[in-house]
Amino acid sequence: MTHAAELRRLLASQEPVLALAPMQDVTDLPFMRLISGSGNADVYFTEYFRVLPDSRLDRDILSSITQNPTGRPVVAQMIGNDIAALVRTARELQLHPVAAIDLNLGCPVPIVYRKCAGGGLLRDPERVDHILGALREAIQQVPFTVKTRIGFDDTEVFEELLPIFAKHALDLVTVHARTVKEMYRSAPRYEFIARAVEELPCPVLANGNIYSADKADEVLALTGAAGLMIGRGVIRNPWLFRQIREQRRGSPIFRPSGRDVLAYVHALWEAVTTRGIRESSQVANMKKYMNFIGLGVEPTGAFLHQIRRVHTERDFFTICEEFLDHDNVMPLEPFQLALKESDVMAGEVR
């Protein structure tokens, strides 16, 4: 069975689909391999391929498709606004074992949306319409999917977007229930996902603040979605997909100890380490993961405060061992820590 056929089978199943969200500079080949050993998603989404008139497929991102270590379907995500370039890239991607091709309509990074790409396209529904029409014609061998937010700076456009999505016979739509300008700083409005489920003829995945098996059940019940896409929650808790499945089966849920989390941090270090670069750069790279893992370690913020200030591997693991070298069960659900406004997780951090 091809990966595309497997994805279609999953979407037709009665069981909720569990997808790893596309996270730039995170969901690469090593991270996918690591997560697949902790519980495995049903489907993985790549980092986005930046599509420009003169762009070529990024070799590192492509490796997560051609060297897919998970045994599960991998969806290739594109970001851009040049129709000819998007069509060309979609055709190139169909020459590789992709399960589907996804268009990013939700990236909230200012440098992206200011160029009218990602979430910036939500300010121009007419352009979205033209892009989807061209891509729908070009993508015939595999499913064509979209990941969107519920608007740019308000939600009024959502009512305009839903008929556009329906018009182009998309195979799957993932809805992150915040606007682009909200980033991750507000509570998701799951009622918009429920509206998409009701109005769209294709399956819908719910995305945003799914941080535990209980929360997964809540979001599925609130939205009626065909499944869940989870990103930051899996960085913090790589066993989350496993725990969701266990809870839905009525089985005992795996509850990791501090040492389990410590082993995960060691494995993450080995997975993402690039040989030959400076030690301080290796530590700095790990901090982007620890910003999420640290939210589930302890409630005072002391762990995050200390881990953000280290520069050597020795100091990094000394602090990790101080907080995690124990057999106590870890909650891993995010504590409500006081964060700076500049933190990517500021405000509603879950």
Q: What single-letter DSSP state applies at residue 296?
A: G
What sign for the dihedral angle of Cα 21, 344, 208, 141? negative
Phi-psi map region of 77: left, alpha, beta (phi>0 left; psi -120 to 50 alpha): beta
Q: What single-letter DSSP state applies at residue 321?
A: H
Token pair, residue 309, equals: 């200030």
Q: What single-letter DSSP state applies at residue 250?
A: T
Distances (CA, A) of 227 to 23, 47, 168: 18, 20, 21
Phi and psi of 77, rounded to 5°?
A: -105, 140
Residue with tokens 């799951």: 190
Total Cβ atoms within 10 A of residue 159 = 12
Distance CA 129, CA 121 (A): 10
Concerning whether 202 is annotated as a catalytic residue, the answer is no
Token pair, residue 230, equals: 């989870």
Catalytic-labelled residue, pool 107, 116, 202, 320: 107
- Helix/strand/coil for 210: coil
Q: Give the residue numbers marked as catalytic.
A: 107
